[in-house]
Structure 1
Amino acid sequence: MGFYILTVIFSLLSLATVCAQRQTVTGKLFTVEEQADDALPYAEVTVLSLPDSALVRGTVTKTDGSFRLNYTRKPHTSYLLRASFLGYEPFTALLNTKKDSINLGRICLKAEALKLDGVVVKADMRPVVQRKDSTIYNVAAYRVPQDEYLEALIKRIPGLDYDPETQIIKYNGHVINSILINGRDLFGGDKKLALTNLPIGIIRRVKVYDRRTEAERATGMRRGNKKNYVLDVETKSDMNGMLVGEAGVGAGTASKKDLSLRLMRFEQQGSNVAVIGRSTNRYIDSDYPGNIHRDLTAAISQSAGEKFDCSVTGNYSYNHAGNLSTSRSELYQTAGNRYSISENENKSKGKTIGGSAQFTWHPDSKTSVTFNVYGNTTDSENEGGNRSASFNMMPTVDITNPFADFNRLSSDSKINYGENKQFGKRKDNSLNVMGNVVRTLTERGDNISLTLSAMHNTAKADNYTDASTYYYRLKNSMGADSTDYRKQYINSPTSTLNYSAQLAYTFFITPKNQFQLGYSISKTREKQDGNTYDLSSFSSSDAPIGFLPQGYEQHEIDSLYSRNRSGRLQHTVTVGYDYNGSNTNLSVRMDMSPDRRSIQSRTGSHMADTTAVQTSWMPSVSFSYTPDNFYLQLMYSGYTQQPDLSSLVAATDYSSPLNIIHSNPNLKTSYSHLLNFTFNSMEKGITANASFRQTFNSISQAVFYNTETGGSETYPMNVNGDWGVNGNASYERRFGQFRTYVSGGGSLDNNVSLTANGTMKDGTEKTNTRSLAFNSSLRTSYMPQWGEILLGAFWTFQSSDNSLQNIKSYNRIYRVNAETNLKLPLGFGFKSDALYVLRSGTGISSENRNEVVWNMSLSYKFLKQNKARIEVEWVDILNQCKDYYGSASSTGFYENYRRKIGSYVMFSFSYRI
């Protein structure tokens, strides 16, 4: 069906003709510098009418420096093209010819020189260039060793917040969604692959900007105000077309090993090739035996002139991970708080094969076609063990080994004790396809666009559980403490199918003012089955978990038998307006989505067949002011959210005796909104961000605690009072070879929950948790030619105040670090980094209060052009590294501890091609 619709649309669009002829001007911008002659991306190109120099049309150059401008030429009017970029002399050219197409070819911009009384002064390379809402970082201004990788550079760039644990990068509070290479998404959105494999030695500049999709660029309209920030890596011109690579091998104590191979070829116009393979446990910090990660990726992006380009990525990965962790918590209750401890052992393994492809085609100057496809298949296994206990008073235990003295604790304080073994197998398949076509219809630029997409996900899960729970306050028929034992096998296949179509018409009122009207339809079908079997009656109770005895099919638990089918048909009408001035931008958008949702559900003897018709709204307004040297934006967005039908009509879930889950047919629609302010002047080193969020009728889980069993029952319910405000700012200043960076921020959040002892009929009590957080940092560095010295101090403070029992908790963490990178004679290099951590606050014992982590490495480069390198690295020299974290929410206070590997020594050898 979608194929026929697309064929009809293409046929209709091909009939659209334009009576008047437009003039098209093309060209490509380059820089002329002392040691480089490179394409100049993101430069501003405008066509002006003479003699009043009124703006006719404008654009920015692509990543390869090319540009294309279409405009209507009026009789008896002269036109001027102007190309400019901050720090370069502008270029102008008269457009006197009346030909339909003008090709200006290669245009070179020269860097501006600072002149004082006839003397030309050469200044140091500026580390940061602000170009409206784009920020460009010159890599040479940061003294990062050339044999390091992109990750090391990101840690040093001001304005970028990087979390090495999750590889999440934030720019002015916005998450960077992907890392591009010369404007192409070579690694299919895998940021970790780019961060850990792109060597600094091939990178010239790094650019951060809000990237529009191909469809948005073709139509000239944004689809919503959500930012899509990307980090675009531009390679050096002398690496253009060269094959670069590296092979490495390493081994160390604590069973550490590392094997890697990288082969890459980059071109600045976007033709890139990469093959990356690695098998390693070098950076896995868990001490669980057998941990390993293997990855093989092949990627290619190719551009065939201005009409066609594509990117294709294939990946295979295998991961074996295990860890040991413990936790301690305090849950807020009306009749006295409940306290819990737990000890967990988890291990998993899985393999994934996936691939993606993106194609863009411009058959002519009026048509743009894109096609994206992504798919993967994953096979995984997980196995774990857990034991936990609940108390009516705080137990005196060591969080690193909470059950060491469990038998010595008073029985009067104990509520329950449980042991649980789990084993599961799962297979997932996913396929996503999207196609888009945009056709320009008039001289003004009016266009029509069609987007078709489909998604199909399937999963099959087999889960085994062997659990026992001992109740100290619940007696059996013999008067002894009661015990609940469960040994079950659960088979649960699921399937989700979604397909959608969107049609939009964009009308250019003037070259700066656009109006868009759109309509889309989306249909989703979900299927979820569940069969639960009782294995406790089989004599082979000592069989390993995951073993299915013969005849298990006869022991299905009828009350847990489930069949769920759901469907959703959603229509969306979109009205949008954009104003795009030279320095001012305004975007206003409203989405209205009436939808029809239905569910047919059966769990045991409970059956439900429900249909709901509701309307969702999604308003958004964005205003930005973007002169050349700073960026200011004010944005508002809101959306309504319907409760899941499963939360409305699903049968009560009794699968866990300590966590019974109910539905609530009286749930209301919630509405959330966000107000955000951003200011950015990277050339002056100033950034600031502030936001406010609030949710009305937010859906919270009301928790009813059973004081005898220590278990709980949860009901979804609407609450009001959830809101939060946060802000942060930073300042950077350079003094010759010194750099100083200061940042600070804070947040205040209010979260509401409902809790009670007993059952639903006993009513609930509303509890507020007010959370306050502050953070600050001071970093300074000295970057001479012979190396780099970095010093940093960090402070974070978190506190929470719960209204239920008037409980206050806080965490305060101080960090001081020092890093040294030295280039020694004869090809030697030395690196050292030390971190001191001081913790104080609620529940933090003296053993977890202090921590010193010191790492050191010595390297030697040899052979021709120093292509060979050997290194010895000593990690956590003092063997004090800990993984401890405490947090508070509206329901309680939580502490978590994970065992880490400790000190080890690693020897490695690498050779660069």
Structure 2
Amino acid sequence: MKNLFLLAVLCLLTASLYGQSAPSPSRISIQGRSVDTSAAPLASSTIMLLSPKDSSLVNFMRADEKGSFTFKNIKSGTYILKISFVGYIPYNLVVKPTGDAVIDLGELVLKPITKELMEVVVRTAKAPLTIKGDTIEYNASSFKVPPGSTVEDLLRKLPGVQVDQDGNIRAQGQTVEKVTVDGKSFFGRDPKLATKNLQAESISKVQVYNDKTEQSKLTGVEDGKKEKTVNLELKEEFKKGGFGKVTAGAGPASNDLPARAEVKGNYNKFDSKQQFSVIGLGNNTNQQGLSFNDYQDFRGSNSFNWNDNADFGFSGSGRGFYFGGDDDESLGIPINGGGGRGFSNNAAGGANYNYDTKKTKLSTSYYYNQSRIEINALRNRENFLQTGSFLTEEASNQINFNGNHRVSLRYEKALDSMQTLIIINNTRLNNGNAFLFRRQALSRSDGIPPAGTLPDYTPSTLDSSTNQSDSRQFGSASTVLYRLKFKKKSRSFAASATYQINTNDGNLDLNSQTRFFQATSANEALRVIRQAQTTNSLRNEYKASLLYVEPFAKKFFWETFYNFSLRYDEVDRDVLNVGDAFPIRNDSLSRFYKNEYLFNRVGSGLRYSFKGLNLSAGLAGQRFSLNGRYAPDQTSPVDSLISRTFTTVVPNVSLNYDMKNNKYLYGGYDVNVRIPSSRDLQPIINNSNPLFINEGNPNLLPELQHNVNGGFSYFNPGSFTNLFVNVYGTYYVNQIVYSQQVNTETLVTTTFPENITGGKNIGSYMSVGFPLKKTKATLNINSQLNFGNNLTNINGTRNETENRNYTIGTRLDLTPTEWLTFYGNASIGRTNTRYSISSGQNQQITNNNFNGDLNLKLPGSFYVNTSLNYRVFRNRQSNFDQRIPLWNASVYHILGKAKKAEIRLSSVDLLNRNVSITQYAGQNYRQNEQVNTLARYFLLSFSYNMRGVNATIRRNGGF
């Protein structure tokens, strides 16, 4: 009996132990080895785990040098294992739980692609992502977004890609400079125009890669410089028919503001050779939409899109000189607004056409945009002097209207296998008008207050002024670029010719009354200005460049270039004092001047290029001549002459090392020359703000900027970890600064440019990103430091302003399931500013920003989106403290079986707290500004997706 009892106990224990070990583990590991048919390892092959439900990506990695891989600590379940390697048929295997903690798949054999197996490859090639060197190709259908989403929404879901709240894109830790559609331009170079306007459902693949510079493509010599590029490949059905999206919405009036409304739409029709797109919008919700780099398109090398470098220099670095500060005589009215500030009514529309064949490429577009912006602002500015300070409290109302037409064309023709001709034109026509009413109250404080206390101010000056202006601007830049490749590899020649013209005609009516409380006589107590100012300007520039590259050894190249520029400026400025009887010309403010700028540069350099290592060193000599004359009037018999010649030797050294395993190292030293602008050189007095007057200086010298920079980037395509580090520094010789002369009685400030040597600026930026859980959670951390020393003269005394900027930021992307996404980021910034002339007024400014964006998919094709942005602005010295929460939310429903329609209810600024705030400390002042801005409103909108061709996609297990 005793033995039977013991036997029963042992049976129970055995059953108990068996019962404990029988269940399958909740977490498992899957391992294996990728090999070819000869059992040789396929190192760095891409290994992916997919969900059998919808082929979505669960996890991924790259095999090691032995072809081995291991997925550790993954949830137990059934998966599809997919292996891809260039030149081999993708391998697919269904992996089911075995009850073991480790599933060893052994050797997995990939077969090489042959002609007979091509059909099999097509049927099995579908994969969420493919890694080929530094190029990552995403299969868009594997990353789920709600119907009607834009490409921007799709990019947010891709591993290794980040899109901030403004639509700026970073991939593999670097800023994306260019987005193409099927390899072609889409409305110029602005990436946002493609990502915000194209639909996600039209995209088949997203390719992220490093593109070469235009000069590297021309010469065939690798210079090591890269440009991060995203290419969007369209689905076949969207290449055969038209597609687009139309949205219209309206909302009720609130807070004594009119009703809100918006309409926007786009239509696209693409095929293998042609692309046609139309974009349009209209609203009063502060959404300006399209981005136009209007003015800069007609300035220097910025007029050449697609990185067409028509000003050849050191490896595409351009001329090394530029004109600084010209604004085409804008009459001095501060044109602010945009970016959500104030209240704006906007309309824009454009058409883009591309034609692309092997020998002929044509890209042309037309845009029109107009905006009427009303800005009501409060500004508080404190200026620091040697013996005290003065405070300016300003309230202003401003209404601006601007309408812009822009036409661009780029035509490229391959004359033969060796010769290419390119014709480029950018043209802009602008009409605008502005009204500005401004009230400024100035108070003075004598002496420096004790630390931690505020100055005691006494009222000194009160000014009320009205500015009314209108302007008409025209600009056009035309370039012809010729490229020739010789039979000898890497030997090449290029030539370019450019003509640019800019005109600006404007009128300004100025009315102001200024009261000086400290005046000693009645005549000095009140100053009244009533003026009519007219400015007509014309600028012509002729440019030419030559480039020759000669390989003189297997790894060495000799590059020689020449730049020529001849520019004519003519400005006629008439100022009339408007009295009760008739206008009287003011000769002290009127000026007529002509300038002729002649620039010549010749340079040469040596380049070593081998296996990703690029070293170059060169030297250029440049000569700049300025001949000008100015007088109160065109008919004046006496001219004042300007005749200046500057000769500069410019060095250039650069290192670019594209190392193995996606590591990149770069560095360099160069010198830039900033030529004084026409406005800065001419002794013209601009009194559009009677309390802050600007005046030119004909004795200015060119500014030299000695620049050093270096950096390192790393991207692991297996783990999607990225690191980017950059350091930079600039030392200024004859820096063009804007010194001040303050009248200690009236507090009227006169600003004028002059040269000072000794300013410097150094800084660094670092960013690191890594997945917390692949395809589910990604964390990015970044920091930025900038230390600047700026020199100016304040009432003849040298002031050194030290700025120390510290910023740290982080971003978290959570995409755990198809029905939930969350994007959160935080930025904490602090600026410490110190002044040598008034150390008691040192400033400490804090700018913090916290943002979260949540998207939920609910049953029944309902979706919810909500975002919260919390901004903090602080300045301890002036007791300034503002905290602004902005909460937006929307709920929308997808309609119909085809899911083409959407109805959405949106609420903007639910807490009704929106206001635009900026604060800044620099030179010898600190300033904060508050602008009334469109706050809480609601919008009910309807969207419809147009699809010209309906295509059914046959699923075959996802492969």
The verdict on a shared fold, with TM-score over 0.5 as the criterion, is yes
Cα separation, 1, equivalents of 2:353 and 2:187? 9
Give the Å deviation of 1:872. Answer: 0.4
Cα separation, 2, equivalents of 1:591 and 1:661? 34
- Structure 2: gaps (5+ residues): 1-45, 53-81, 94-103, 111-123, 254-258, 288-337, 447-453, 947-959
- Are residues 677 and 646 of structure 1, via their aligned partners in 2, closer, same or farther at CA, if it must alter by over 3 Å? same
Q: Which residue of 2 aligns with 1:117?
A: 106
- Are residues 687 and 243 of structure 1, via their aligned partners in 2, closer, same or farther at CA, if it must alter by over 3 Å? same
Q: Which residue of 1 aligns with 2:241?
A: 242
Correspondence 1:484 to 2:487: no
Cα separation, 2, equivalents of 1:893 and 1:289? 22
Give the Å deviation of 1:677. Answer: 1.0
Give the Å deviation of 1:494. Answer: 0.9
Q: Which residue of 2 aligns with 1:826?
A: 860
Cα separation, 2, equivalents of 1:892 and 1:140? 54
Which of structures 1 and 2 has the bigger CA Rg?
2
Match among 291, 297, 302 for residue 344 of structure 2: 291
Paired residues of 2:221 and 2:609 also in contact (CA < 8 A): no
Cα separation, 2, equivalents of 1:736 and 1:410? 56
User: Alignment partner of 1:560: what SS?
Assistant: coil
Higher mean alpha-carbon deviation, 676-685 vs 116-125, is at: 116-125
Q: Which residue of 1 aligns with 2:354?
A: 301
Correspondence 1:414 to 2:415: no
Paired residues of 2:729 and 2:761 also in contact (CA < 8 A): yes
User: Alignment partner of 1:263: what SS?
Assistant: strand
Paired residues of 1:646 and 1:663 also in contact (CA < 8 A): no
User: Alignment partner of 1:586: what SS?
Assistant: strand
- Structure 1: gaps (5+ residues): 1-30, 36-85, 92-108, 395-408, 539-550, 758-762
Q: Which residue of 2 aligns with 1:441?
A: 486
Cα separation, 2, equivalents of 1:532 and 1:227? 51
Give the Å deviation of 1:912. Answer: 0.7
Deviations 1:195-230, CA, capped at 9 Å, x for gaps: 4312222234445556456564122258x9987555
User: Alignment partner of 2:910: what SS?
Assistant: coil
Correspondence 1:738 to 2:727: no
Correspondence 1:867 to 2:900: yes
Paired residues of 1:574 and 1:590 also in contact (CA < 8 A): yes
Deviations 1:112-149, CA, capped at 9 Å, x for gaps: 779941458999967795844x6666656765545233
User: Alignment partner of 2:685: what SS?
Assistant: coil
User: Alignment partner of 1:193: what SS?
Assistant: helix
* Structure 1 residue identity aligned to 2:742: Y
Higher mean alpha-carbon deviation, 115-124 vs 767-776, is at: 115-124
Cα separation, 2, equivalents of 1:580 and 1:613? 37
Paired residues of 2:485 and 2:492 also in contact (CA < 8 A): yes
Correspondence 1:148 to 2:149: yes
Correspondence 1:279 to 2:282: yes
Paired residues of 1:146 and 1:199 also in contact (CA < 8 A): no
Deviations 1:226-245, CA, capped at 9 Å, x for gaps: 87555443334453333111
* Structure 2 residue identity aligned to 1:352: N
Give the Å deviation of 1:170. Answer: 6.6
Cα separation, 2, equivalents of 1:460 and 1:792? 45
Q: Which residue of 1 aligns with 2:799?
A: 766
Q: Which residue of 2 aligns with 1:691?
A: 727
Q: Which residue of 1 aligns with 2:85?
A: 89
Correspondence 1:310 to 2:311: no
TM-score norm. by structure 2 comes to: 0.74
- Are residues 215 and 797 of structure 1, via their aligned partners in 2, closer, same or farther at CA, if it must alter by over 3 Å? closer
- Are residues 794 and 126 of structure 1, via their aligned partners in 2, closer, same or farther at CA, if it must alter by over 3 Å? farther
Paired residues of 1:113 and 1:120 also in contact (CA < 8 A): no
- Are residues 361 and 619 of structure 1, via their aligned partners in 2, closer, same or farther at CA, if it must alter by over 3 Å? same
- Are residues 662 and 450 of structure 1, via their aligned partners in 2, closer, same or farther at CA, if it must alter by over 3 Å? closer
Give the Å deviation of 1:276. Answer: 1.4
Cα separation, 2, equivalents of 1:126 and 1:579? 39
* Structure 2 residue identity aligned to 1:878: L
Correspondence 1:680 to 2:714: yes
Cα separation, 2, equivalents of 1:330 and 1:201? 54
* Structure 2 residue identity aligned to 1:459: N
Deviations 1:278-298, CA, capped at 9 Å, x for gaps: 112334499999732111211
Higher mean alpha-carbon deviation, 179-188 vs 450-459, is at: 179-188
Match among 515, 523, 531 for residue 574 of structure 2: 531
Paired residues of 1:492 and 1:529 also in contact (CA < 8 A): yes
Correspondence 1:783 to 2:836: no
- Are residues 685 and 137 of structure 1, via their aligned partners in 2, closer, same or farther at CA, if it must alter by over 3 Å? farther
* Structure 2 residue identity aligned to 1:262: N
Paired residues of 1:367 and 1:437 also in contact (CA < 8 A): yes
- Are residues 734 and 361 of structure 1, via their aligned partners in 2, closer, same or farther at CA, if it must alter by over 3 Å? farther
- Are residues 774 and 136 of structure 1, via their aligned partners in 2, closer, same or farther at CA, if it must alter by over 3 Å? farther
Correspondence 1:713 to 2:750: yes
Aligned residues: 775
Match among 493, 518, 525 for residue 536 of structure 2: 493
User: Alignment partner of 2:860: what SS?
Assistant: helix
Paired residues of 1:215 and 1:436 also in contact (CA < 8 A): no
Paired residues of 1:608 and 1:650 also in contact (CA < 8 A): no
Cα separation, 2, equivalents of 1:576 and 1:111? 47
**Structure showing greater relative contact order (alpha-carbon pairs closer than 8 Å, 6 or more residues apart):** 2
Q: Which residue of 1 aligns with 2:888?
A: 855
Q: Which residue of 2 aligns with 1:379?
A: 431
User: Alignment partner of 2:588: what SS?
Assistant: helix
- Are residues 236 and 282 of structure 1, via their aligned partners in 2, closer, same or farther at CA, if it must alter by over 3 Å? farther
Deviations 1:563-613, CA, capped at 9 Å, x for gaps: 111111211213233444333233444433222221111237884212222
- Are residues 353 and 669 of structure 1, via their aligned partners in 2, closer, same or farther at CA, if it must alter by over 3 Å? closer
| Identity level (%) | 17
* Structure 1 residue identity aligned to 2:869: L
Paired residues of 1:753 and 1:891 also in contact (CA < 8 A): no
Give the Å deviation of 1:324. Answer: 1.3
Cα separation, 2, equivalents of 1:524 and 1:343? 41
Higher mean alpha-carbon deviation, 584-593 vs 141-150, is at: 141-150
* Structure 2 residue identity aligned to 1:259: V
Cα separation, 2, equivalents of 1:528 and 1:204? 54
Higher mean alpha-carbon deviation, 600-609 vs 274-283, is at: 600-609
Q: Which residue of 2 aligns with 1:323?
A: 375
After superposition, residues 357-436 of structure 1 pair within 5 angstroms as 357-393=409-445, 413-436=458-481
Give the Å deviation of 1:448. Answer: 1.9
Give the Å deviation of 1:793. Answer: 3.8
Paired residues of 1:172 and 1:678 also in contact (CA < 8 A): no
Give the Å deviation of 1:495. Answer: 1.1
Higher mean alpha-carbon deviation, 860-869 vs 602-611, is at: 602-611
Paired residues of 1:287 and 1:323 also in contact (CA < 8 A): no
TM-score norm. by structure 1 comes to: 0.77
User: Alignment partner of 2:193: what SS?
Assistant: helix
User: Alignment partner of 1:559: what SS?
Assistant: coil
- Are residues 653 and 633 of structure 1, via their aligned partners in 2, closer, same or farther at CA, if it must alter by over 3 Å? same
- Are residues 501 and 228 of structure 1, via their aligned partners in 2, closer, same or farther at CA, if it must alter by over 3 Å? farther
Q: Which residue of 2 aligns with 1:252?
A: 251
Higher mean alpha-carbon deviation, 812-821 vs 881-890, is at: 812-821
User: Alignment partner of 1:866: what SS?
Assistant: coil
Give the Å deviation of 1:910. Answer: 1.0
User: Alignment partner of 1:745: what SS?
Assistant: strand
Paired residues of 1:278 and 1:294 also in contact (CA < 8 A): yes
Give the Å deviation of 1:328. Answer: 1.1
User: Alignment partner of 2:184: what SS?
Assistant: coil
- Are residues 387 and 700 of structure 1, via their aligned partners in 2, closer, same or farther at CA, if it must alter by over 3 Å? same
Q: Which residue of 1 aligns with 2:739?
A: 702
